[in-house]
Structure 1
Amino acid sequence: MLQLGDLAPDFTLPTDKGETFHLAGQLGKPVVLYFYPKDDTPGCTAEACAFRDQYADFLDLGAVVVGVSSDSEASHQKFSQKHRLPFPLLADTSGQLRKQYEVPRALLGLLPGRVTFVIDAAGKIAYIFNSLSGATDHVRKTKEVLRELAA
């Protein structure tokens, strides 16, 4: 099980923007890596839009925000365009990254879990928040952690 202080597992995945995201390329700045169940569902849309609406705060804190689900790049493109998301969505179609980060399944194993990781500028896990129901709580709590890291 991943713990606070562990080095975040490195990865490279395609984004909705047609680019490749490599975690190691983000060293030197904090990364908010949030796993969500599915594009365009009510809770996932609320979460993504909360990150979007407060994106300037994340930029001010020097953080990179990245969403991850097992949906395809095409699904991510539609979701991102529909809701004008300014951050990349990663296509973990094989579920390998979810396994690497040990994101548990939720609701009796029927749904992929909703877990947010804050990875500090040195690449270590500084925060883990796991809650399927509190979609927008992920944003508020993540900002609090980033403020503490910046202090």
Structure 2
Amino acid sequence: MALKVGDRIPNFKAIDTKGDLFDSDTIIGKKAVVIYFYPKDNTRVCTEQACSFRDQYEDFKALGAEVIGISGDSLKSHIEFANKHQLPFILLSDSDKKIRKAFGVPNDYFGLVPGRTTYVADKNGIVQLIFDSTSGKIHIEKALEILKTM
């Protein structure tokens, strides 16, 4: 079942770019969060999206939100991607697609490409926005828009 607005973000664990085990319980239910799923490191649209989140990261922090990027890429790929583009937010490897499945993120392009979906949850962990678009930059605008109303 796909998450809907009003649902609580499920608990998940994954390895972050520091090699540490990230547990969503350390953030979910404590502060607002923007979790974005993207298809692949170092592709044009995914890089634009990540760099847009990077460039506006301080805006997210000022609104009390943490940003988490998730894709099926390996930890090694995420580390290189984060270092190359100086990404200040959390990147998680979901190589077994368990997190993607827990959220119910759909695939794009006739099921061939992992979907690009952003979830914004309030400080209680309740989903306030689900935005699904193949255009990367719009995700940042939509996430900031909803955070300003919370």
TM-score relative to the length of structure 2: 0.96
1:35-114 aligned at under 5 Å gives the runs 35-114=37-116
Unaligned stretches of 5+ residues in structure 1: none
Please state whether the residue corresponding to 1:44 is helix, strand or coil: helix
Instruction: Give the number of aligned pairs.
Output: 148
Q: Distance in 1 between matches of 2:64 and 2:14?
A: 22
How far residue 20 of structure 1 moved from its aligned partner, in angstroms, is: 2.0
Q: Which residue of 2 aligns with 1:23?
A: 24
Q: Distance in 2 between matches of 1:137 and 1:17?
A: 28
Paired letter, 2:69: G
1:112-141 CA distances to partner (integer Å, 9 max, x unpaired)? Answer: 000000011111111100001x20000011
1:2-25 CA distances to partner (integer Å, 9 max, x unpaired)? Answer: 211111111111111212221111
Unaligned stretches of 5+ residues in structure 2: none
Q: Distance in 2 between matches of 1:143 and 1:99?
A: 25
**Which piece of structure 1 moves more, 32-41 or 15-24?**
15-24
Q: Distance in 2 between matches of 1:5 and 1:136?
A: 24
Return structure 1 stretches of 4+ with deviation > 2 angstroms: none
Across the aligned residues of Structure 1 and Structure 2, the Cα RMSD in angstroms comes to: 0.7
Q: Which residue of 2 aligns with 1:14?
A: 15
Q: Distance in 2 between matches of 1:73 and 1:119?
A: 25
Contact 1:31 1:65 in 2 (8 A): yes
Q: Distance in 1 between matches of 2:3 and 2:80?
A: 32
Percent of aligned positions that are identical: 46
Q: Which residue of 1 aligns with 2:34?
A: 32
Q: Which residue of 2 aligns with 1:145?
A: 146
Q: Distance in 1 between matches of 2:127 and 2:148?
A: 15
Please state whether the residue corresponding to 1:33 is helix, strand or coil: strand
TM-score relative to the length of structure 1: 0.96
